[in-house]
Structure 1
């Protein structure tokens, strides 16, 4: 139980770490200093972890990992969308 709570807290903190970047993009409407390739690689890595998280959750373990990983996946996908929009 303790490790699930720690996973949730850590995952939420990691996901919220992207918020300042999102706010900066929305304010400036500039993504010239961001690498689309880097964000696509991050997205690929999180997507692969998402598959693993789903398999854990199906087997009755790792729900916290699935929740936080899904949140990170959505946030990174949003950054990629912003990069493509403001390019």
Structure 2
């Protein structure tokens, strides 16, 4: 139980840590200093971990991991989409 709680808290902190970046992108509408390739690699890694998390959850373990990884997947996907959106606007 303790490790499940630690995983939930740690995963939530890691996921919520992306929110200031999202807020800054939306506020400034600037992604000039962000590297899309780096974020795409991060997204790929999280996607692979998501497959693993789904497998664990299907076996009846790892629900906390699935929840926090899914949240990370959502916020990093948001960053990637914002980079694509604002980078394409800047190049028009």
TM class by smaller structure: over 0.9
> How many equivalent residue pairs?
87
Query: Gapped runs of 5+ residues in structure 1?
Result: none
Q: What are the within-5 Å matches in structure 2 for residues 1-87 of structure 1?
A: 1-87=1-87
Q: TM-score, normalization: structure 1?
A: 0.98
Q: Which runs of 4+ in 1 moved over 6 A?
A: none
Query: Gapped runs of 5+ residues in structure 2?
Result: 88-92
Cα RMSD, aligned residues only: 0.5
Q: TM-score, normalization: structure 2?
A: 0.93
C-alpha displacement at 1:77, in angstroms? 0.2
